[in-house]
Structure 1
Amino acid sequence: MESLTRDHFFNGKIVLNQPASGYRFSIDAVILSHLACPAPGETVLDLGTGCGVIPVMLAFRHPEIRVIGVEIQPSLSRLARRNVADNCLSDRVQIVDKDIGKLLLADIGGPVDWVVTNPPYRKRGSGRINTDSQRAVARHEIKTDLDTVLRTARRMLRKSGRFSIIYPSVRSIDLLTAMRSTGIEPKYLTMIHAKPAFPARLVLVTGIKGGRPGLDVGPPLCLYHEDGTYTRALESMFSGLTD
């Protein structure tokens, strides 16, 4: 049986089971689940949900939404369902076992209002592939790639639906170009820095299906002060507070 850890977040209000070794979610998922702000009554789709951290955090923060997580790795989808159940969210969060590229509208009950994703960052063949299969699939474009994620998002979104992705800043041009060519127009961009004096490591982009051209660049998001302590923004993310 796989060894798990049981970690508490949001001041102990939610619990997340994760593999003790293997894929463990990163702060990227926490940031994305905080910066995506669906309206009451909306449905959110998380592509590549892993152990279900984004659906659980989104559903906790927004009690009037429905969330669907899609995961190709059976060991992680089982864990995602456990996390959903342990947090008493089974009435609003659904986990679907499916290859993202083969996902159908029938699998999720029709078009959604918002798609979020924290996809594999590294191109296949770039860098060393982790020997742990869960980590390898989560970090490298082995089972899916950016183009597949974007095409699937467009198919799953309703007209004028929103799409949010967190991605390495070094691949920003690849991301923005691919979004526009897929029919998801980039509308809002936030650069994410570890510390104020450090170059951005990540970028979060929100686009609209069929949106008009025009990109707003928001203020940078810094996660740590120079002394290594959390910024107020990061503290609010771990507390579970909404803006």
Structure 2
Amino acid sequence: MPTLSPTTNLYTHDFLLGGRLVYNQLAAGYRTGIEPVLLSAFIPAKRGDAVIEGGCGTGAGLMCLAHRVPGIRGFGLEQDQETTLLARENFSINNFQNLQCIHATIPHIPSFMMQDAASGKLRFDHAFANPPWHADSGTPSPNPRREAARRLLPGMLSEWIASLARLLKQQGTLTLILPTGLYPQACQLMEKNSLGRITLFPLWPKAGKQPKIILIQAYKYSAGMGRILPGLTLHQEDGKYSQEAKAVLQEGHSLLS
């Protein structure tokens, strides 16, 4: 079991994947939900792949992916300096030496990340993100860090998709988790940025209930047919997680067929 850092009133000590990973996060501000875990379970990475996450927070998504697919090389972009430092600490205490967190704000991605220094080619096999998606017209959060992590400003989704798409190799994937109301816009933006073969994966709150969030995945320079998968039902009628959801959220299973 990884070792916890000393407790302070600024941070909380939590766990991911049923206790398999230690996860320190800020006590106030943006708090990780199940979205990064579900997102990481849908990325078709394999050993040796280079993966980048936009807005990685304190590293939950990257760590869950690295736990499921040992041997990936993972990079996170995070705009908040303190959150960046916490992500680095989380990577260290969980012994993920192949994960890094870079202090950067999309769309201003450091130039060294665009290309591999040795080959000069694009670096990344996969990109993923849980971008801000709360409406610009909504009530702002009194916590500035939480507000920055949640608020979808005009043009922001376009910037995120374009910036991450530029980093991908041919046939590399971009995977997003978004509210269902944003998926038509996201699909249009993906196509605009040479991303095709779009897959939609609904996340049903309960059987028979409309999905509130959806996973969207597309391939760079691919003209293949899109598809809608059956998705995942998160909860049983009593409100407890379904067996399929528990396999992903607590045991680290993949959502890929």
TM-score by length of 1: 0.93
1:119 aligns with 2:125: no
> 1:134 & 1:15 partners in 2: Cα distance?
22
Q: Could you list the per-position Cα deviations for residues 47-94 of structure 1 after superposition, in whole angstroms to 9, with x for gaps in the alignment?
A: 0001111111111111121110000111111111111111111x2101
> What is the aligned-residue identity percentage?
25
Which is helix-richer, 1 or 2? 1
> Could you tell me which residue of structure 2 aligns to residue 174 of structure 1?
185
1:49 is paired with a residue of what secondary structure?
coil
- Alignment match of 1:5 (pick from 4, 8, 12): 12
Aligned partner of 1:57 in structure 2 is 64
Identify the match of residue 150 of structure 2 among 132, 136, 139.
139
Report the number of matched residues: 241
**Deviations along 1:170-189, whole A, 9 cap, x unmatched?**
11111111111121124211
Q: 1:144 to 1:237 in 2, by over 3 A?
A: farther
Asked whether 1:96 is paired with 2:108, we answer no
Contact residue 118 and residue 167 of structure 1 kept, 8 A: yes
My pick for the range that moved more, 181-190 or 150-159, is: 181-190
Over aligned residue pairs, what C-alpha RMSD do you find?
A: 1.8
Amino acid at match of 2:125: D
**Displacement of 1:153 after TM fit?**
1.1
1:231 aligns with 2:242: yes
1:35 matched to 2:35: no
Of 73, 85, 106, 2:80 maps to 73
Q: Contact 2:34/2:249 (CA < 8 Å) preserved in 1?
A: no
Using the alignment, how far apart are the partners of 2:49 and 2:64 within structure 1?
15
Q: Distance in 2 between matches of 1:80 and 1:18?
A: 8
Q: 1:184 to 1:101 in 2, by over 3 A?
A: same
Q: 2:90 aligns with which of 83, 86, 92?
A: 83
CA distance in structure 1 between the partners assigned to 2:52 and 2:98 by the alignment: 12
Q: Which amino acid aligns with 1:96?
A: I
- Are the counterparts in 2 of residues 43 and 66 from structure 1 also a CA contact under 8 Å? yes
Q: Which structure 2 segments of 5+ residues have no match?
A: 1-7, 117-122
Tell me how far 1:2 sits from its aligned partner: 5.8
Structure 1 unaligned runs (5+)? none
Cα distance, 1:142–1:77 mapped onto 2, change above 3 Å: farther
Aligned with 1:39: secondary structure? coil
In structure 2, how many angstroms separate the alpha carbons of the residues matched to 1:143 and 1:85? Answer: 36
Provide the TM-score with structure 2 as the length reference.
0.88
Does structure 2 retain, via aligned residues, the 8 Å contact 1:179–1:186?
A: no
